[in-house]
A = this chain, B = another copy of it.
Amino acid sequence: MNIGEASRASGVSSKMIRYYEATGLIPPAGRSGSGYRTYGPKEVQTLRFIRRARDLGFPMEKVSDLLALWHDRSRASADVKHLAEAQVAALEARIVEMQTMQATLRHLVHACAGDDRPDCPILSDLGGIRTASPAP
């Protein structure tokens, strides 16, 4: 099967498949007589694996680690679990960071009249004027 079909079957764009090959994440695909990349079910499964890992937020480097473990039949499941736990923690850190931003913003939004007058605590705060801060 050609790259387009592999793309449709795996949910990974042709561009990305070539990119993964160029960066060494996946081995070079076989080539037809005329230079077209060819893929079989095994390669498609690998691409799907990558796609799912990406969907779970793993960065490429960790996807590479997961792929290596996947291919290593003598792996310890603990190693896989550690990678996954680290990713849970990484997601948690980013979630907390964004929730903090969101809470601050909600506070400011709440304090803003939102009418046709120009006075706005949101801008005042961004401008450095501390209008109302929680007492320490």
Contacts and interface: CB of A to CB of B under 8 A. Distances in A.
A114 B76 CA distance: 7
Interface stretch (A17-25, A29-37, A90-98): A90-98
Nearest to A112: B81
Interface of A: 45, 48-49, 52-53, 55-57, 66, 69-70, 72-78, 80-82, 84-85, 87-88, 91-92, 94-95, 98-99, 101-102, 104-106, 108-109, 112-120, 122-123, 125-128
Given A52-B125, A70-B127, A76-B118, 7 more contacts: A45-B128, A49-B127, A70-B123, A77-B119, A78-B116, A84-B112, A84-B122
List the number of copies, as a whole number. 2
Consensus secondary structure, chain A interface: helix
